[in-house]
Structure 1
Amino acid sequence: MRRVVIAGNWKMHKTQAESLEFLQSFLPKLENTPEDREVILCAPYTDLGMMSKNLHGTRVRLSSQNVHWEESGAFTGEISPAMLTEVGVTYAVVGHSERRQYFGETDETVNLRARAAQKAGLTPILCVGESKEQRDAGKTETVISEQLKADLAGVDLSRLVIAYEPIWAIGTGDTCEAKEANRVIGLIRSQLSSGDIPIQYGGSVKSSNIDEIMAQPEIDGALVGGASLDPEGFARIVNYQSV
């Protein structure tokens, strides 16, 4: 049975003090959250150690926003899997569109990161999605199929979360229609050998549209950006209403 996974990606936001303030407000709002919903916070590296201590014994899991494929080495600015597991991180985002767009990530490096994450015991949250130009050219299906084929080579599908994040809907205020997101996620699922992999939708997810998104049969959760920075708003997303 597929599990529901709601992840908040803070990107380059929140100092340690701000993160602690968030947790103090957010955690009490999970008291009545259904047990079948997995809650993850993808925080900046500097916050992870402090957050791990304050999340001990709670249901919230921690994710990094990236991970390198080597155990150590001369890779300035990168972070190794062991550095993450040491502070209690259990997930790692790989292939986020901003990493691909602004920092030169390729399907090859995304695949290396995903495999290294799994080798260290981390569960990758693999992001795939098309740009506006690719969608307008009718290449959505082709682009995503090619990403999946390259990104998942040698990856253990039993320890994986996939996030469909149409690039044109990230931080733009434009949300992919729920039914269209459902269609594309169904396409992704049809190309996987395992039907139990949770597949999230990401792209301008808000408290005002989460109920409709989660009502779609193929969508197993959400990768939430800006709306995850507010504890009350993110709690509303985590506690979406099943319809």
Structure 2
Amino acid sequence: MRKKIVAGNWKMNKTLQEGVALATELKNILAAEKPNCEVVIGTPFIHLATLSELLKDSVIAVSAENCANKESGAYTGEVSAAMVKSTGAEYVILGHSERREYYNETPEILK
């Protein structure tokens, strides 16, 4: 049977301090709830390491909101999957509607 995942991301919102406050609140609420699914929060790249550390012993996993389709190279501003993984994040959201609409990303790019 497939694992159930409930995920949400905050897009280009929340400063680091606001993100830490939200993640701390969710961590405290879910510690008491013991959800029967995996809970994932997607955060901007600059929050990944901090929130991965904050949530490492909780029921919440951390996700990047995107990553580059290249392993390395001269791609200014891009972040590779290896870079995301090195922060402690366990997931990456790929192919979401904003990337398709605003950056013309296609299913072929995701392969």
Q: Same fold (TM over 0.5)?
A: yes
Identity of aligned residues (%): 39
1:215 corresponds in structure 2 to none
Q: Does 1:20 align with 2:17?
A: no
C-alpha displacement of 1:28: 1.3
C-alpha displacement of 1:24: 2.2
Instruction: Answer with 1 or 2: which has the greater Rg.
Output: 1
Deviation beyond 4 Å, 4+ runs, structure 1: none
Cα distance in 1 between the residues matched to 2:81 and 2:3: 24
1:103 corresponds in structure 2 to 103
C-alpha deviations, 1:127-174, integer Å up to 9, x for none?
Answer: xxxxxxxxxxxxxxxxxxxxxxxxxxxxxxxxxxxxxxxxxxxxxxxx
Cα distance in 2 between the residues matched to 1:61 and 1:101: 27
Flag structure 2 segments of 5+ consecutive residues without an equivalent: none
C-alpha displacement of 1:89: 1.0
1:48 corresponds in structure 2 to 48
One-letter code of the match for 1:40? V
C-alpha displacement of 1:69: 2.0
Q: CA RMSD in A?
A: 1.1
Cα distance in 2 between the residues matched to 1:86 and 1:16: 19
Cα distance in 2 between the residues matched to 1:52 and 1:2: 24
Cα distance in 1 between the residues matched to 2:104 and 2:76: 15
Cα distance in 1 between the residues matched to 2:9 and 2:21: 17
- Check the 8 A contact 2:52/2:88 in 1, yes or no: yes
Cα distance in 1 between the residues matched to 2:77 and 2:105: 14
1:82 corresponds in structure 2 to 82
Give the paired residue count.
110
- Check the 8 A contact 2:69/2:110 in 1, yes or no: no
One-letter code of the match for 1:94? L
Query: Which secondary structure does the structure 2 equivalent of 1:39 belong to?
Result: strand
One-letter code of the match for 1:24? T
2:33 corresponds in structure 1 to 32
**TM-score, structure 2 normalization:** 0.92
C-alpha deviations, 1:93-139, integer Å up to 9, x for none?
Answer: 1110110000121121122xxxxxxxxxxxxxxxxxxxxxxxxxxxx
- Check the 8 A contact 2:27/2:59 in 1, yes or no: no
1:72 corresponds in structure 2 to 72
C-alpha deviations, 1:35-85, integer Å up to 9, x for none?
Answer: x31000000001111101101211111111111122111112211011111
Cα distance in 2 between the residues matched to 1:96 and 1:110: 11
Query: Which secondary structure does the structure 1 equivalent of 2:17 belong to?
Result: helix
* Equivalences for residues 158-237 of structure 1 within 5 A: none
Flag structure 1 segments of 5+ consecutive residues without an equivalent: 112-243
2:9 corresponds in structure 1 to 9
